[in-house]
Amino acid sequence: MISSALARLNSGVEGVCAFLNVNQAARELTSRFLVGLEPSVLEGYVEALREVAPPSTSWRIYDHCAAMSRIYALFEQFCESILADWIDFRVLNVAFNSLPAKLQDSYAAGFASILSDIHKVRFNHISSSDLIAEYHKALKGEIGYRLTSECLTHHKGNIRWDDINVMFERCGIPLLGEWVANHQSLAHHFQTKSKILEQTISRLSEFVQYRNDSAHALVEIDEILGHDEIVDLADFVMSFCLCLSDYVEKSSIEHLMSSGLATKIGVVAEIKRNNIVVCNVEGATVKMGDVIHLITSNSYGVRTVCGLMLNDVSTDKVVVANAVELGIKLDLPGVRRAHVISTYQEI
């Protein structure tokens, strides 16, 4: 559902890192190139670059400010985008008065807030007539209405932990902190499994402060991050966003299960080499090319079935009534003890 948002974020962050790499190389070139070498075309180009380049200190400050501003913009856009996708998914073919009461109340409050501020530049893309008309359709009980995501994702300032928590709660995705505290991508980034939530909240607060200082020209040379530190911060943002996207995807699967549009078909019992897993499967049909979802208390992943083996015999399709051990080759590594979920519609 939100793979395009992740792809945009990844492309944007890679672009920032490439920008930093080029600037660092250019700084090193202009500072280390030796005058007095035999004349060459390269020497002429470097000398011309040296003449127009800013002082190294100022250049590093510009890099820091540009990177912080751009990475933050990508981060904010990502958070709002995945929740907008979730809202569209959540209300599809569902009457407004059938949604959780807290979501309905949050939307009513957000509707009033957005409508009163719709003249502001940040809401130029929202039409007041469309906003009112779609909400009217929803309140009348019609199917096919569209909620304006900004009514649930609005925030006054930069997005810190409390803001993200509130946004997810408004959208009907609670308990975000429990998920973040155990998520594998953040554990890998921090290289520890302890105090992940605390480190995430602190790191996010630092990131937003860097962005604010950069936007208001409050950065001094002793306050900027070095090249490797900025890249590490970008990695944190990517890890955190992967964590958020996984939680939205997991919530989507759980909603499909509660609606009878997805079902648990088994559990991963063993992990073998070459992306092969052994699953305890019951009451399901599994075939080559199927897309399955692997969910644990701290991870979510999508896999494609690339091979099947039942009773040591390879097959393209298996129809299982009673519980059996089924060997499944996946396109990516499996996850031990993960619940294997099959959906009847794409998310």
Give the tens place of pLDDT for each residue, 52-91. Answer: 777 878 888 888 888 999 999 999 999 999 999 999 999 9
| Tokens read off for 199 | 């480190």
Separation of alpha carbons 45 and 9, rounded Å? 34
Q: At 91, phi and psi to the nearest 5? A: -95, 0
Separation of alpha carbons 184 and 177, rounded Å? 14
List where CATH 2.40.30.10 sits in the chain: 262-343
Are 133 and 147 in contact, with CB atoms under 8 Å apart? no
Separation of alpha carbons 94 and 83, rounded Å? 17
Separation of alpha carbons 303 and 280, rounded Å? 17
| Tokens read off for 62 | 């510009």
Mean pLDDT of 18-41: 70
pTM higher than 0.85: yes
Topology of the domain comprising 262-343: Elongation Factor Tu (Ef-tu); domain 3 (2.40.30)
CA distances to 109, 192, 236, 243 from 239, in Å: 32, 14, 5, 6
Mean pLDDT of 150-162: 94
22 — pLDDT class (breaks 50, 70, 90): confident
DSSP 159: -
2 — pLDDT class (breaks 50, 70, 90): low
What is the residue-wise DSSP string for 31-80?
A: HHPPTTSPP-HHHHHHHHHHHHSPPHHHHHHHHHHHHHHHHHHHHHHHHH
Are 145 and 127 in contact, with CB atoms under 8 Å apart? no
Q: What's the mean pLDDT when you consider all of the chain?
A: 90
Are 332 and 275 in contact, with CB atoms under 8 Å apart? yes
pLDDT at 109: 97
| Tokens read off for 41 | 């075309």
Give the tens place of pLDDT for each residue, 276-313. Answer: 999 999 889 999 999 999 999 889 999 999 999 998 88
pLDDT at 166: 97
The interaxial angle of helices 227-258 and 56-90, nearest 10 deg, is 0
Please tell me which residue, 253 or 226, carries the higher pLDDT value: 253
Are 84 and 149 in contact, with CB atoms under 8 Å apart? yes
